[in-house]
């Protein structure tokens, strides 16, 4: 493999707190090692429509504390077509880009894998998603910040919940993964977490009601992962009205508030380590891998493994939520 002289960096999919810290780390680590950097605006759309700009060390000054992404992000239907990817590759070549660093979730890394296989482009991915649903890494960039945002919101909600005899359903993101729901429920002292991983095993709402969650309490807060199959918090509240009319149910949907805010120290450090790890990986000749972290150490995870959603939840935490909610 020829030496990499210039890399392109893009953020794709849903934004996550810490993406800017990762952009900063990738940019400065590359420059430190004598590699030029190009910023690609609006994800894969910027590759297809040639929105590519020179990045210098100053380009990433004063961004480590910012949420969102200075590179912006957008959906790109064109990149899903062979014609669009061909155009992206031609623009990449014209800009002198030898390799890519892609920051995003499973869709972004899946697209990177297809692009790399078609054009033999060295690509390294960084796991940027609040859902924490990528395999091969203990945590994804943005997850810790989103978790703290949820806990802060639930703490505020509890102040009003304690004034009323109500069952509050709080919907959080994660329609295929319950990490945010489960861990925020545990951290905020909620009565239960209703998560996708358990939907085929047990009727979680019926179990919650039948266990008599209000024996010693005048209110209860349940964290619910968004889920098209159950209808999320709204769907569960509708079920309560029909099947358990004795309970007064209320719904709070946190929505995109979970994506925003200044990243926590944990996410800034994680993004910084992973960003530097991406450049190290490219210099070692790695390709089609995501940078993960396991037991505190940087690891290289093949894209195929990262996007499989085989990451299991810690079921003992579900039992712990139940035990501590009596």
Catalytic residues: 131
4 DSSP 8-state letter: P
In order, the DSSP letters of 135-163 are TT-S--BTHHHHHHHHHHHHHHHHHHHTT
Q: How many CB atoms lie within 10 A of CB 112?
A: 25
CA dist., res. 7 & res. 55, Å (int)? 10
Going by their DSSP bridges, the two strands 249-253 and 289-294 should be labelled as: unpaired
CA dist., res. 212 & res. 203, Å (int)? 15
What is the spatial order of strands in the sheet that 123-127 belongs to?
52-55, 36-40, 6-11, 99-104, 123-127, 289-294, 297-302
């Amino acid at each position: 493999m020829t030496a990499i002289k210039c890399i392109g960096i893009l953020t794709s999919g849903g934004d996550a707190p810490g993406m800017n810290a990762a952009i900063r780390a990738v940019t400065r680590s590359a420059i430190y090692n004598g590699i030029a950097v190009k910023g690609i605006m609006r994800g894969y759309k910027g590759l297809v429509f040639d929105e590519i700009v020179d990045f210098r060390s100053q380009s990433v000054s004063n961004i480590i504390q910012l949420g969102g992404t200075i590179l912006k992000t957008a959906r790109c239907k064109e990149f899903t077509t062979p014609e669009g990817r061909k155009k992206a590759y031609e623009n990449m070549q014209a800009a002198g880009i030898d390799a890519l660093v892609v920051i995003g979730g499973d869709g972004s890394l899946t697209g990177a894998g297809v692009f790399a296989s078609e054009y033999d482009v060295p690509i390294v991915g960084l796991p940027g998603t609040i859902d924490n649903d990528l395999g091969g890494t203990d945590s994804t960039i943005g997850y810790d910040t989103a978790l703290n945002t949820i806990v802060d919101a639930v703490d505020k909600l509890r102040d009003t919940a304690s004034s009323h005899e109500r069952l509050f359903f709080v919907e959080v993101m994660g329609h295929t993964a319950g990490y945010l729901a489960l861990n925020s429920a545990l951290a905020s002292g909620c009565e239960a977490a209703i998560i996708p991983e358990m939907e085929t095993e047990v009727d979680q709402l019926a179990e919650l009601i039948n266990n008599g969650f209000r024996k010693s309490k005048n209110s209860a807060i349940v964290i619910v992962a968004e889920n098209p199959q159950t209808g999320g918090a709204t769907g569960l509240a509708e079920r309560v009205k029909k099947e358990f009319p004795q309970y007064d149910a209320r719904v709070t949907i946190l929505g995109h508030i979970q994506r925003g805010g200044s990243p926590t120290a944990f996410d800034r450090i994680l993004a910084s380590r992973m960003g530097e790890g991406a450049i190290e990986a490219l210099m070692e000749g790695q390709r089609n891998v995501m940078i993960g972290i396991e037991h505190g150490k940087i690891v290289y995870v093949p894209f195929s493994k990262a996007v499989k959603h085989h990451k299991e939840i810690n079921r003992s935490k579900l039992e712990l939520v139940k035990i501590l909610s009596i």
